[in-house]
Amino acid sequence: MSQHKLDRIDRRILHDLQADGRITNVELARRAGISAPPCLRRVRALEQAGYIRGYHADLEPKALGFNVTVFAHVGLSSQAEPDLEAFKELAQQWPEVRECHMLAGETDFLLKVVAGDWDAYQDFLTTRLTAAPNVNHVKSALSISASKLEPGVPIQVEDADNAS
């Protein structure tokens, strides 16, 4: 990511795009207090600088038949760099794995896995995850409910000097 000093307008743009990726450039510019052409230039600059990774729709998993979310704590037999990279590449190939985080500590990877039901998750677990090379153990934690699903990061819109 290139160095790009964020000013109040950039933070406002990032804040509003994170809240609503479908906001029009005209509305985004109005909220940021600038006209549309410089707003669009700023958005493009923020994209090129790596602050904006992409845009997507937030889908309801249950409406699409994914009724189970499981967090799988994966321990590998070897933590050598090639083995870690191989596991990351393998996890990229599994569509039911929605997030893959490499961790420090007892667990090497934390996977967020979605499935139609518990049986479908168990099938994934036994036929692919535990059967994968270098996987030593997996501990599964079934999500009962999610009380907060907030994408991105907290962005302070106002300058610290202007905050009261």
pLDDT band for position 161 (cuts 50, 70, 90): very low
Q: 136 and 111, same structural domain?
A: yes
Average pLDDT over residues 6-19: 96
Distance, in Å, from the CA atom of 6 to the CA atom of 14, rounded to the nearest integer, reads 10
Any domain includes 55:
no
Q: 102 and 34, same structural domain?
A: no
Q: How far apart are the first and last CA of the chain?
A: 32
Opening angle at CA 139, ends 133 and 143, nearest 5: 125
More confident of the two residues 4 and 111: 111
How many folded domains does the chain comprise?
A: 2
Q: Are 43 and 13 in contact (CB under 8 A)?
A: yes
Whether 156 shows a pLDDT value over 50: the answer reads yes
Distance, in Å, from the CA atom of 117 to the CA atom of 114, rounded to the nearest integer, reads 9
What pTM was estimated for this model as a whole?
Answer: 0.86
Task: Tell me which residue range forms the domain holding 29.
Answer: 8-48
Any domain includes 128:
yes
Sheet of 97-102: strand order equals 97-102, 109-115, 68-76, 135-142
